[in-house]
Amino acid sequence: MNEAMVLQRDAVVIGGGPAGLAAAIRLREKGIESVLVLERERTAGGILRQCIHDGFGLTRFGESLSGPEYAERFVSRAAELGIEVRTDCTVLHVSGEHTVTAVCPAGLFRVRAKAVVLAMGCRERTRGALAIPGSRPAGIYTAGVAQSYINLQNVMVGREVVILGSGDIGLIMARRLTLEGAHVVGVFEVQPYPSGLARNIQQCLNDYDIPLYLSHTVVDVHGRGRVTGVTVAECDAAFRPIAGTEREYPCDTLVLSVGLIPENELSLGAGVELDPRTKGALVDENCQTGIPGIFAAGNVLHVHDLVDFVSLEAEALAEAAASYIRDGALAPCPLAVETDGSIGHVIPQRVSGTKSFTLWLRVRKPLPGCRICVRQNGRLLAQKSLPKALPAEMIQLRISVEELDQEHSVEVTTE
């Protein structure tokens, strides 16, 4: 590659969604001059472009915004600051030495950066990954794909709809499809509790009389050209369908909202180690991955419940990333953050003990009235009492440096 095609930047941010833009803006505000954002879509904003419902921004901006409005705040702020955002530009590879290879209609180019921020977001789990038996007709969509067709392309995906999984996008789509004249037969969730937020259960299902069937799953798909129906069965505690409970629902569409997976192919290519629980990078309190100078934030790191936290997490890494860009290193983080079986995942997984940090976690199962306790060597550092803890909701605890020692691992438990 000729040298004209190799750019030098202080920071390169991969992904121009709510994480990437927030990180880029804050880096610039911290005095980092050359920040480049690479975005594969024609316009920045990420998945928010298709989220035309409101409820975004309550935490970050103190008001309720639609997805495009929320994104626009960051897009226009980035423009105001003169941040270079290259759209229509797909990153092909990231090296452990901070070289990013990208492609756009003008050609191939490389960026050598002092720091790399991974902000690629997540993708949806598919029917194939769940291995749902049955035929393979048209009319099976993941919720995000259906949302993209309806909200961005003005294309209606179906009229009689069964939704599998109670993830937030599925709940939002239940309402959206209903508003556009489709009939949503019901939402079926394999777990005994919903995986989406309580507010979405109320506003997207209950308000529209759409039934939610917990401990149910789709066990068969019918139809050769187009979906003609699905068979649903009740499930036991191990999520196995219970024989004899099968029921057929005629429909022309099956929408799947069965989980999001952080999109870490580029991270793996760079040699970044992932946490099997989050499917995102193992990071320290600075959101720095195992490779110095490579940071990750937002849904590529762990799937969040609210976009506000995606942006806040990305903004929080800017200070440390800016120090890294200036000094070439950050304080080591040798202390592991360990959890008991009640915790689904935790971010960060390593800390220094010399700095306050925010602990993000999700519980594995719904817990009635519990206390999240954070300890070092048996000593309580912080705790949070919750009337109930749901896996759908991200829990945050602030751990103050005053409480921390620099010798012992950090233990997180529920009581």
- The residue ranges that bind another protein (CB under 8 A) are 1, 5, 40, 49, 88, 90, 92, 101, 103-108, 123-124, 126-129, 131, 133-139, 142, 144-145, 148-150, 152-159, 180, 219-221, 224-226, 241, 252, 265
Among 299, 399, 401, CA closest to 358: 399
- We find the least distance from the C-beta atom of residue 68 to another protein, in angstroms, to be 11
- We find the least distance from the C-beta atom of residue 225 to another protein, in angstroms, to be 2
- We find the least distance from the C-beta atom of residue 221 to another protein, in angstroms, to be 8
- We find the least distance from the C-beta atom of residue 140 to another protein, in angstroms, to be 9
Calpha distance 261→256 (Å, rounded): 14
Q: Position of tokens 């057929």?
A: 248
* Nearer CB in complex with another protein: 30/222: 222
Q: Coil, helix or strand for 68?
A: helix
* Nearer CB in complex with another protein: 133/328: 133
Reduced 3-state DSSP string for 344-375: EEEECCEECCCCCEEEEEEECCCEEEEEEEEE
- DSSP symbols for 160-184: EEEEE---HHHHHHHHHHHHTT-EE
* Nearer CB in complex with another protein: 28/216: 216
Calpha distance 206→203 (Å, rounded): 6
* Nearer CB in complex with another protein: 7/103: 103
* Nearer CB in complex with another protein: 38/306: 38
Can you read off the two tokens belonging to residue 352? 């220094």
Calpha distance 382→374 (Å, rounded): 5
CB neighbour burial string for 160-193, b if at least 16 within 10 angstroms, e if fewer: bbbbbbbbbbbbbbbbbbbeeebebbbbbbbbee
* Nearer CB in complex with another protein: 214/261: 261
* Nearer CB in complex with another protein: 4/329: 4
* Nearer CB in complex with another protein: 47/322: 47
Among 155, 120, 150, 132, CA closest to 256: 132
* Chain length of the chain: 415
* Nearer CB in complex with another protein: 147/288: 147
- We find the least distance from the C-beta atom of residue 129 to another protein, in angstroms, to be 6
Report phi then psi at 347, rounded to 5. Answer: -135, 135
- We find the least distance from the C-beta atom of residue 219 to another protein, in angstroms, to be 7
* Nearer CB in complex with another protein: 156/397: 156
Strand pairing report for 367-376 and 212-214: unpaired
- We find the least distance from the C-beta atom of residue 91 to another protein, in angstroms, to be 9
* Nearer CB in complex with another protein: 23/145: 145
Calpha distance 268→245 (Å, rounded): 42
- We find the least distance from the C-beta atom of residue 90 to another protein, in angstroms, to be 4
Q: Are 103 and 88 in contact (CB under 8 A)?
A: no
With 0-12 / 13-18 / 19 or more C-beta atoms within 10 angstroms meaning exposed / middle / buried, residue 2 is exposed
Q: Are 198 and 188 in contact (CB under 8 A)?
A: no
- We find the least distance from the C-beta atom of residue 34 to another protein, in angstroms, to be 23
Q: Is the peptide bond before 334 cis (omega within 30 degrees of 0)?
A: no
Calpha distance 116→240 (Å, rounded): 43
- We find the least distance from the C-beta atom of residue 151 to another protein, in angstroms, to be 8
- We find the least distance from the C-beta atom of residue 253 to another protein, in angstroms, to be 9
